[in-house]
Structure 1
Amino acid sequence: MYVRSWIRGSVDEQRMEGLLGFTIPWHLLAWLVLSVSVQLNPAAFALSNQGEALLSFKSYMKDQNGCLDDWVRSDPTPCGWTGITCDHGSNVISLKLAGMNLTGALSSDIGRLRSLVSISIELNNFTGTLPQALSDLSELRFINISHNNFSNQFPANLSALQLLETLDAYNNNFSGVLPSELGRLKYLQHLNLGGNYIEGSIPPGYGEMMQLQYLSLSGNFLSGKIPPEIGNLSQLEYLYLGYYNAYEGYIPSELGKLQRLVRLDLSFCGLSGPIPVSLGNLTNLDSLFLQINLLTGPIPAELGNLRNLKSLDLSNNQLDGQLPLELKWLKKLELASFFRNQIHGEIPSFFAELPNLQVLFLWCNNFTGNIPQQLGNMGNLQILDFSSNHLNGTIPPYLCREGALQDLFLFNNELSGAIPDSLGYCYSLVRARLGNNKLTGPIPQGLLSLNSIQMLELLNNNLTGQLPETFEAPQLEILDVSNNNLHGMVSEGIGHLTMLSLLVFSGNRISGGIPQSIGNLRKLLRLDLSNNAFSCSIPVTISRCESLSTLDLSKNQLTGNIPLQIENMQVLDFLNFSHNRLTGSIPSQLQFLPSLTTLDFSYNNLSGPIPLHGQFGYFNASSFIGNPGLCGGQLRPCISAAPGDSLNDHEKLKDQPSFLIWLVGGLFSAALLILVVGICCFFKNYQPCICGLFQRKNTIKPWKLTAFQKLDFNADHVLDCLTEENIIGRGGSGIIYKGVMPSGEIVAVKRLSSQGRKGVSNDHGFSAEIQTLGKIRHRNIVKLLGCCSNQDTNLLLYEYMPKGSLGELLHGKQGSLLDWKSRYNTAVQAAIGLSYLHHDCSPRIVHRDVKSNNILLDSDFRAHVADFGLAKFFQNSGKSQSMSSIAGSYGYIAPEYAYTLKVNEKSDIYSFGVVLLELVTGRRPIEPEYGDGVDIVQWVRIKVQTKDGVFDVLDPKIPVDHVPLREVMLLLRVALLCSNNLPTERPTMRDVVQMLCGVKSKSDNNKSIELFSDSASSLRYQQL
């Protein structure tokens, strides 16, 4: 319309007709004019130079989600493209590509965007080095490349960007040392180089960035001393220097000059010496984290000047003295953590007067005296842990005044008096652990009817009275009231506690019959009613508790026969009916219980022959003595059969040699038939797949290579590596090949078959690995480079691990290569990787196949968790998911998973405990010398009960004089905590990391071993 009007206004068609002798249509004339214009000035309609630069920039990466599909050459400028912002002159000033799942390299074409002010490419999967061209962008003020996989030395030339205000490179793979040149960035306000592999010391020149407000160098491998020059950063508000760094010396007192500081985190970085009193000058501080160090001396009274403090964590140090009374001025305090120190004296009463206090940790210290009776009166207290001290007096009555209390841990003290009745109305209560005290009186009515309570431990007290008649706690998982003076009967209401996994009433005076409703407790793992006055017969319904691994009814007055239905309890590991009045014979069916390792039927009135097959062949006479009517085995011989009586089975076989001949012949024939059928099935099902790998020209569907970062090879290069001589491993999920690419890069290729039987799709974990590893990045998680697939076969491409798997090194010919230091470091690094999956991923990830063969070691013997074919995503931590079948590796599978098919993080933790036992013992999870049905967990538990048990289980390939005994004891203790039969008693992976790393922060003395005497419960909490 506009072109036509312009033409008609500019040229008269009749005049053109007169000049040319014919009429030219207007639209043809318009086309001619535009063509001439484009020829004379092509830039007027072509994509701008900056747009061309961006297209070239895009060509170096892979846009898997199609976020940049609107980056097209047909546009005159890139100003309307996704992630691009321009100024009024159409110059690109902002590049924002955060969280778009982009992979590949950062191209040097970015240097052509001379007006660029801001770069934001965080939360992607960029790899390689940062281009030198970045230093040419003199207008840059903002760079965020966090949460990627950039590597090599962090570039010092970024110091040329004199206007730079923000530089965030958190969570990458940068190595080398910190560039001292960055100290020249006078306008820098935010510097984050945490979560990398950077080594060396902090340059003193970093104290010259006078505009700096945020400095984070945590999560690296830094050493040396913290430079006192950091105290010159007068504008600094956030300082993070801890986590995995290992500094020397003290906390610089100069940090007390940082008047604007809001958060100071120096945790877990090897600092020693006293806490500087100058930190009391930081009056704007709201968080002070100094936990897991080697700090000594008393807590400075000057910390009472920190009137804005909300979180104070000084735990896991060697602090002594008393808590200073000046802390009473911290009226905003919400979290106070002092556990695992050597603090003594009474607990100050001012804690009861802090109006906002929610969490108070004082456990594992030397506190004495009474607990302040007004504690909890302010109504905000949620978690209180005073366990493992020397406290006496009574439990305060107001702990749950406003119904906020969730966790109350007071065990291992000398408290007396009654449990406050108010706890019976504390509807918020989740866990209460009051064991190992001197408490008296009855259990408060209502305590076993709280809707939220999950754990109630009252063991080893002097409680009296009867058990409550009402049991209506729907979430209760652990109930332990053992070793008290309780009497009366257990009501049938006990069957309402259907979530129970542990029920212990031992060591009381409870009488009457065992309730029939006990059979409703289908999730019960341990039932201990021993040392009471239970009478009547053992209820047959107990056999419905098919999850039971421990059943102890010893030292009662039970009568009647042993129920033969116990044969249904296939996971039963410990069975004790001793010291009762049981009669009849031992059911022969019990000898075939597959998991039974401990048995005691002694001191009853049982009679008849002892079954000698199956598991019973391993039990000695002590399991059966005190039964005058029993015979056989290691007891007195049974009376021989009278003449004319039927011969027993053993004698029949002696008189029928032909039976043995037929038996052997039949077995040989069956084995031969199975071998022939197996060979036929192999060639029928697998030969086409094998051939298909090499006859690529005949495949129905072409190979597709999907890269998760920039790769210098293609699918053909990968397929050329799939030869017999390149095989480096075989497993249940596939074959592993070593592949050398044309560029010299070495990768590991795992081949998975994606076709199940009869054409049913079965990807053997291919989808799970892609979904899992494609989204996570961590220094201790194996890196997935890409995948290659067609309709028959899936290939996964990993970074190559030269040292192979931990399992191969431990149990192969090269086991001697792993000295104790390497083993301990492997344990720590693998724990950190699993902790990342369980706690830092969103959604959280359960591996489901943790084992030594799935922990790979690089050239520096650094551990990487691998093989995510069975991994599952979990939205809610601690919640179990039901599986359709058991998946995992024999010897590593948690007991509850095996018989309930339910899995959560605790299943991984059990498997990791087995790996730790492998590291200590050098043995496999299952070995013949353990005995039938006995695995490494049970074998170690039996061995360590002897005087020299630790030395008996220690790998003989490690010289004893080269091993720090304290570290061995710790690793063994953590392994047994992780492999506890009860999932609720296992620590979290965060706890495991804290335990394994914390051993370095304790002086080498015998007392330190006592820190681990309370199982996993002493390791419940890290910083909230």
Structure 2
Amino acid sequence: MDWSVALSILLLLAASSSVARGFQDKSALLALKAAMIDSSGSLDDWTETDDTPCLWTGITCDDRLSRVVALDLSNKNLSGIFSSSIGRLTELINLTLDVNNFTGNLPSELATLHDLHFLNVSHNTFTGDFPGRFSNLQLLEVLDAYNNNFSGPLPIELSRLPNLRHLHLGGSYFEGEIPPSYGNMTSLSYLALCGNCLVGPIPPELGYLVGLEELYLGYFNHFTGGIPPELGRLLNLQKLDIASCGLEGVIPAELGNLSNLDSLFLQINHLSGPIPPQLGDLVNLKSLDLSNNNLTGAIPIELRKLQNLELLSLFLNGLSGEIPAFVADLPNLQALLLWTNNFTGELPQRLGENMNLTELDVSSNPLTGPLPPNLCKGGQLEVLVLIENGITGTIPPALGHCKSLIKVRLAGNHLTGPIPEGLLGLKMLEMLELLDNRLTGMIPAIVDAPLLDFLDLSQNELQGSIPAGVARLPSLQKLFLHSNQFVGGIPVELGQLSHLLHLDLHSNRLSGAIPAELAQCSKLNYLDVSDNRLTGPIPAELGSMEVLELLNVSRNRLSGGIPPQILGQESLTSADFSYNDFSGTVPSDGHFGSLNMSSFVGNPGLCASLKCGGGDPSSSQDGDGVALSHARARLWKAVVASIFSAAMLFLIVGVIECLSICQRRESTGRRWKLTAFQRLEFDAVHVLDSLIEDNIIGRGGSGTVYRAEMPNGEVVAVKRLCKATSDETGSGSHDHGFSAEIQTLGKIRHRNIVKLLGCCSNEETNLLVYEYMPNGSLGELLHSKKRNLLDWTTRYSIAVQSAFGLCYLHHDCSPLIVHRDVKSNNILLDSGFEAHVADFGLAKFFQASSAGKCESMSSIAGSYGYIAPEYAYTLKVSEKADIFSFGVVLLELITGRKPTEQEFRDSGLGIVKWVKKVMDEAKDGVLSIVDSTLRSSQLPVHEVTSLVGVALICCEEYPSDRPTMRDVVQMLVDVRGLPKSSKSGSFKDSSIKTPVESQQQWEDQDREEQQRQRRDQAPLIPL
């Protein structure tokens, strides 16, 4: 045969084979697309009609063979299952799937792609164990699986990949210990295992990874023991982050060997002992964060060698001594965070002269002496927080010219002299807090800070009048000027403050009338002008303020009648008109019918309507100048009791009728539809087969809950709801929260919110299929014979985890979600007693622009004993109602008592008032309310006290006084960040899932973001 002919045949065969493999790639890609949900149409150009896939979106082909070598589907808004067809792309080198919503297991066929160099599946919701046989990928260099829902042990076979240089398995649910064999991956330069559920010791074998440049092990993990000294061998390490993972012991001196380190984060642990002076050898260090530990001793003088240091964060420790003078001389220092320690003496007077200082916070230390005069010499100071010290002298005049200032908090010191001129004219200033000092003089004439939203000058010795220029603070939300010596009238210009929420002018010497213009402050919910010398009537216009919650005009010289417009204002939950010269009638009906008598005392001309103009004249006024009718009170109680009885009757009848309808229609054999929210290995028939009497584990007003074991052995919970229709056609049907739960849970992905697996429905009945929680609800367990399983550590964990779930609903969902039925029975516990917020049948959606606002409901929803007072009065709901309910849950956790106990009903106290009353009267304080099953001798009293404090703040009467859920999370986490000074001894922390951000005082959360930005892209682990 002619060799040229033979060669041509061979080339033809090779080309044919290449074309065939090209068709194989096209077929595999189309199979991948078929398994996905492409809601944005990102892959619309992947069509069967094309001869080759090489021009499709996200595809890169080899020019010679036309084989697919790269598949990049990053950030394409894809969801659904990622198909096993990927194994047919045998020439694939690069696979990138990050920032999508793929669910189910990662296909094991990936292990057959022997040419794969780069694999990125981060920011998805892949579940299950990490697939095996990855040791076949001998060419793999980068594996990024960050932020998924993987579980099970860390894949040990990865330690056999000789070329792996970048490994990120953070942000999932991997559990167990870090395999010591991970120390064999000597080619690694990047290793991140943070944000999982890992336990056990940090293996010292990681010290063999001598090529490692970045190591991240913290956040959510809970390691035992301390920091292995062997990590001091990682001489190439540039970033070391082992924050928030339960570490104990001392900081190894060997870390001082890491001369290339630029970031060292060990915050939020239980490290003790002194700061090793060897850390001064880290001459390249830019960020040092040892905050929120139990460190003691002084700041080592050796740290003066850290001439590149930009962040020094040592807050929330037990450090003592003086703040060394060298700190002011560090040329690159931007942030100095030393709050809540025991530092004494004066602040270094050269602070700020390095020209780079941006943030200084030394709050809550017993510091004395004057403020450094040149804190803003470099013109970069943004945050100055020095609250709760003993600082004396005047506020440096130079601060009035510091154009970079954003926040100034100097409260609780001994400062004297005037407020610097220009301070209230800074264009970037957002917060100025100078309360509780000895400042004198007048408010500066120049008032022009367009971004200032918080101004507190209260509890000083300021004089003069309140300048009309305050109206030139257009962003102002809270204004506190009380407890000074201000004179003159209330400026009518305050009515121009359209964003004002809180105005407190009490305890001054103000005179004149209350300006009617204040009614123009449409967002004002707190107005206190008490204890002044005001005269004239209350402006009727104040009755048009729809969100006003508190009005206090007591102890003035006001006269006339109380305007009926105010008496009918439904938003008002507290008012005080006492000790004035009011006259006329207080109606016994309307919103103010239930006000306490003390709201009106001291007004001789004021009387209740049932005793005005008739009857015994001697009884028209009581000893305090007002008579409130006992008959009216009895009538009110009778009306409330009747309404409650009727409501309960209708509820019982409705539930019986609902169950009857469900039973009658069960046999109709309607067609069932199963909607899955993730990959399921069972169908509707299997779910229906479980609906038998023996499987019932709970009943409620909205339906019945069954425990169901599927054919594959998976156990799920099935909640059966029935649709009651108002007529035969089904018009006006009400689905008992089914639609709300579907809309809510179908979108939510959070470890502390119950996972909705799917739903089944037909024309009569709805079924919700959840992950099964073997320990049931918190309420059931807490009030059963098994309550001894809930020791203090477990209860604290449940509190924190529940707060995370609610925080996600309020702050991270879009639209924001108000649960509206937060209670212990709606907090479910898995096998490890981790908490999951459940039951979204009453959930209410709010657009982001509506956050913090109220919305009117047609009727009260929620559970008796947990409902916020303003919700019961006004039917207006906001996220602050959830926070009140959560505070009740915290008290229930601590006391072991139901909020609905008969004792609380009979006394009219409620659990919140009962806790306050008992703690005030009992000798042993907080221990008097603690659940009797908790052994007081083993309780960390400071933690219990702090948790009670958080609960009571959540249960404040006025919504504006309650924290946000993000604040609550921070406060709860901070409970275990405080030094352990309880008489009961040290307390070992449990595996609490804590946020990624460093713990800060809850009222200062905005500075967390600034600190994180300085951490040079330290990894963020999502909640």
Length-normalised TM-score, structure 1: 0.77
Match of 2:279 in 1: 303
**In structure 1, how many angstroms separate the alpha carbons of the residues matched to 2:547 and 2:854?**
18
Match of 2:288 in 1: 312
Match of 2:834 in 1: 862
Q: Give structure 2 stretches of 5+ with no counterpart.
A: 1-11, 620-625, 987-998, 1013-1023
Cα offset for 1:352? 3.7
Match of 1:13 in 2: none
**In structure 2, how many angstroms separate the alpha carbons of the residues matched to 1:162 and 1:519?**
72
Mapping of 1:125-204 within 5 angstroms?
125-130=101-106, 132-155=108-131, 157-204=133-180
C-alpha change, 1:327 and 1:639, in structure 2 (3 Å) is farther
Match of 2:993 in 1: none
| Greater Cα offset, 101-110 or 412-421 | 101-110
**In structure 1, how many angstroms separate the alpha carbons of the residues matched to 2:882 and 2:374?**
39
Structure number, greater radius of gyration: 1
**In structure 2, how many angstroms separate the alpha carbons of the residues matched to 1:674 and 1:163?**
69
Seq. identity, %: 48
Cα offset for 1:243? 1.0
The equivalent position to 2:680 in structure 1, one of 711, 715, 736, is 711
Cα offset for 1:210? 0.9
**In structure 2, how many angstroms separate the alpha carbons of the residues matched to 1:589 and 1:949?**
44
C-alpha change, 1:568 and 1:914, in structure 2 (3 Å) is farther
Cα offset for 1:316? 0.3
Match of 1:986 in 2: 963
The equivalent position to 2:430 in structure 1, one of 454, 458, 461, is 454
**In structure 1, how many angstroms separate the alpha carbons of the residues matched to 2:199 and 2:369?**
47
Higher normalized contact order (CA 8 Å, seq sep 6+, divided by chain length): 2
Letter of the 1:831 partner, please give it.
A
Cα offset for 1:217? 1.4
| Greater Cα offset, 110-119 or 264-273 | 110-119
Cα offset for 1:237? 0.9
Cα offset for 1:458? 1.2
Letter of the 2:893 partner, please give it.
L
Mapping of 1:767-786 within 5 angstroms?
777-786=749-758
Letter of the 2:194 partner, please give it.
S
Does structure 2 conserve the Cα–Cα contact (< 8 Å) formed by 1:50 and 1:112? yes
SS at match of 2:147: coil
Match of 2:348 in 1: 372
Q: Give structure 1 stretches of 5+ with no counterpart.
A: 1-36, 655-659
Residue 919, structure 1, aligned to residue 893, structure 2: yes
**In structure 2, how many angstroms separate the alpha carbons of the residues matched to 1:651 and 1:440?**
51
Q: How many residues align?
A: 956
C-alpha change, 1:892 and 1:99, in structure 2 (3 Å) is farther
The equivalent position to 1:483 in structure 2, one of 447, 452, 459, is 459
C-alpha change, 1:472 and 1:797, in structure 2 (3 Å) is farther
Cα deviations across residues 310-340 of structure 1 (Å, max 9, x unaligned)? 3221110122222234434434433221111
Match of 1:832 in 2: 804
**In structure 1, how many angstroms separate the alpha carbons of the residues matched to 2:763 and 2:41?**
24
Mapping of 1:174-253 within 5 angstroms?
174-253=150-229
Cα deviations across residues 777-814 of structure 1 (Å, max 9, x unaligned)? 33223334356789999976543445555466667998
Letter of the 1:851 partner, please give it.
V
Cα offset for 1:204? 2.1
The equivalent position to 1:417 in structure 2, one of 387, 393, 404, is 393
**In structure 2, how many angstroms separate the alpha carbons of the residues matched to 1:103 and 1:847?**
26
Match of 1:851 in 2: 822
Cα offset for 1:460? 1.2
Cα deviations across residues 934-955 of structure 1 (Å, max 9, x unaligned)? 8766765666555566356545
Match of 1:21 in 2: none
Cα offset for 1:163? 3.2
Cα offset for 1:829? 1.6
Match of 2:270 in 1: 294
Match of 1:10 in 2: none
C-alpha change, 1:674 and 1:60, in structure 2 (3 Å) is closer
**In structure 1, how many angstroms separate the alpha carbons of the residues matched to 2:452 and 2:909?**
31
SS at match of 1:476: coil
C-alpha change, 1:45 and 1:900, in structure 2 (3 Å) is same
**In structure 1, how many angstroms separate the alpha carbons of the residues matched to 2:339 and 2:199?**
31
Mapping of 1:596-611 within 5 angstroms?
none
Does structure 1 conserve the Cα–Cα contact (< 8 Å) formed by 2:670 and 2:763? no
Cα offset for 1:958? 5.7
**In structure 1, how many angstroms separate the alpha carbons of the residues matched to 2:725 and 2:299?**
66
Does structure 2 conserve the Cα–Cα contact (< 8 Å) formed by 1:741 and 1:747? no
Does structure 2 conserve the Cα–Cα contact (< 8 Å) formed by 1:292 and 1:998? no
C-alpha change, 1:690 and 1:884, in structure 2 (3 Å) is farther
C-alpha change, 1:370 and 1:860, in structure 2 (3 Å) is closer
Does structure 1 conserve the Cα–Cα contact (< 8 Å) formed by 2:597 and 2:628? no
Match of 1:28 in 2: none
Match of 1:1017 in 2: 1003
C-alpha change, 1:1015 and 1:97, in structure 2 (3 Å) is closer
C-alpha change, 1:833 and 1:617, in structure 2 (3 Å) is closer
Match of 1:383 in 2: 359
**In structure 1, how many angstroms separate the alpha carbons of the residues matched to 2:676 and 2:901?**
41
Match of 1:8 in 2: none
Residue 437, structure 1, aligned to residue 413, structure 2: yes
**In structure 2, how many angstroms separate the alpha carbons of the residues matched to 1:321 and 1:721?**
63
**In structure 2, how many angstroms separate the alpha carbons of the residues matched to 1:453 and 1:472?**
10
The equivalent position to 1:272 in structure 2, one of 231, 242, 248, is 248
Match of 2:236 in 1: 260
Does structure 2 conserve the Cα–Cα contact (< 8 Å) formed by 1:322 and 1:343? yes
SS at match of 1:417: coil
Residue 965, structure 1, aligned to residue 941, structure 2: yes
Cα deviations across residues 499-543 of structure 1 (Å, max 9, x unaligned)? 544333232222233344455556555443333223345555556
Cα offset for 1:240? 0.7
Residue 514, structure 1, aligned to residue 485, structure 2: no
**In structure 2, how many angstroms separate the alpha carbons of the residues matched to 1:461 and 1:113?**
72
C-alpha change, 1:770 and 1:93, in structure 2 (3 Å) is farther
| Greater Cα offset, 366-375 or 381-390 | 366-375
C-alpha change, 1:574 and 1:79, in structure 2 (3 Å) is closer
Cα deviations across residues 804-841 of structure 1 (Å, max 9, x unaligned)? 554666679987875544432222222333455677x5
Does structure 2 conserve the Cα–Cα contact (< 8 Å) formed by 1:977 and 1:1015? no
**In structure 1, how many angstroms separate the alpha carbons of the residues matched to 2:965 and 2:548?**
26
Cα deviations across residues 879-934 of structure 1 (Å, max 9, x unaligned)? 94767656995556697999998978x78666644543443355677889479998
Length-normalised TM-score, structure 2: 0.77
Letter of the 1:870 partner, please give it.
K
SS at match of 1:487: coil
The equivalent position to 2:259 in structure 1, one of 283, 305, 322, is 283
| Greater Cα offset, 166-175 or 844-853 | 844-853
Mapping of 1:872-911 within 5 angstroms?
872=846, 874=848, 880=851, 885=856
The equivalent position to 2:973 in structure 1, one of 996, 1001, 1013, is 996
Letter of the 2:754 partner, please give it.
V
Cα offset for 1:235? 0.7
Does structure 2 conserve the Cα–Cα contact (< 8 Å) formed by 1:125 and 1:709? no
**In structure 1, how many angstroms separate the alpha carbons of the residues matched to 2:704 and 2:870?**
29
Cα deviations across residues 17-38 of structure 1 (Å, max 9, x unaligned)? xxxxxxxxxxxxxxxxxxxx99
Does structure 2 conserve the Cα–Cα contact (< 8 Å) formed by 1:987 and 1:1017? no
C-alpha change, 1:696 and 1:72, in structure 2 (3 Å) is farther
Does structure 1 conserve the Cα–Cα contact (< 8 Å) formed by 2:263 and 2:287? yes
C-alpha change, 1:605 and 1:493, in structure 2 (3 Å) is same
Mapping of 1:545-694 within 5 angstroms?
550-560=526-536, 577=553, 579-581=555-557, 619=596, 640-641=616-617
**In structure 1, how many angstroms separate the alpha carbons of the residues matched to 2:204 and 2:896?**
46
| Greater Cα offset, 122-131 or 599-608 | 599-608
Does structure 2 conserve the Cα–Cα contact (< 8 Å) formed by 1:453 and 1:473? yes
**In structure 1, how many angstroms separate the alpha carbons of the residues matched to 2:529 and 2:111?**
76
Does structure 2 conserve the Cα–Cα contact (< 8 Å) formed by 1:751 and 1:793? yes
| Greater Cα offset, 146-155 or 985-994 | 985-994
Letter of the 1:334 partner, please give it.
E
